[in-house]
Amino acid sequence: MSDQDKQKPQDEAVTQDSELENPQPAAEVADEEAAAEPDAARQLAEAQEQMQRLEKALAEADLRAQAEIQNVRRRAEREVENAHKFALEKFAGDLLSVADSLERGLSTLDAEDEALKPAREGLELTLKVLMDAFGRHNLEQVDPHGEPFNPERHEAMTMIPAPGAEPNTVIDVLEKGYLLNGRLIRPARVVVSKAEG
One-letter identity of residue 73: R
* pLDDT surpassing 60 at residue 22: no
pTM score of the predicted model = 0.58
Query: Whose CA is closest to 175, among 193, 158, 161?
Result: 158
- DSSP type of residue 153: T
pLDDT tops 60 at residue 27: no
pLDDT score of 111:
81
Backbone angles phi, psi at 188, to 5 degrees: -75, 130
User: For helices 117-136 and 89-108, what crossing angle results, to 10°?
Assistant: 160
Decide if pLDDT at 127 tops 90: yes
Each domain of the chain, given as residue ranges in start order, spans 3-84, 88-194
Q: Which residues of 64-77 are buried (b: 16+ CB within 10 A; e: fewer)?
A: eeeeeeeeeeeeee
User: What confidence tier does 81 reach under pLDDT thresholds 50, 70, 90?
Assistant: confident
- Residue 184 and residue 150 in contact, taking contact as beta carbons nearer than 8 Å: no
Find the DSSP H helices in the chain: 3-21, 24-86, 89-108, 117-136
- What is the Cα–Cα distance from 37 to 44, expressed in whole angstroms? 10
pLDDT at 178 over 90: yes
pLDDT at residue 19 is higher than 60: no
Could you tell me if 140 and 172 are in contact, meaning their C-beta atoms sit under 8 angstroms apart?
Answer: no
- The pLDDT score that the predictor gives to residue 38 is 75
The mean-pLDDT minimum among 22-26, 82-86, 186-190 falls in: 22-26
Q: Is pLDDT above 90 for 23?
A: no
Across the range 128-142, mean pLDDT stands at 93
Per-residue pLDDT at 82: 79
Quote the CATH superfamily of domain 88-194: Head domain of nucleotide exchange factor GrpE (2.30.22.10)
Please choose, from the candidates 143, 135, 71, 136, the residue with its C-alpha nearest in 3D space to the C-alpha of residue 103.
143
Beta-bridge mates of residue 155: 189
Please give the mean pLDDT across all residues of the chain.
Answer: 84
Three-class secondary structure of residue 166 per DSSP: coil
Asked if residue 10 has pLDDT above 80, the reply is no
Q: How far apart are CA 187 and CA 50, in angstroms?
A: 63
Instruction: Over range 26-39, report the average pLDDT.
Output: 62
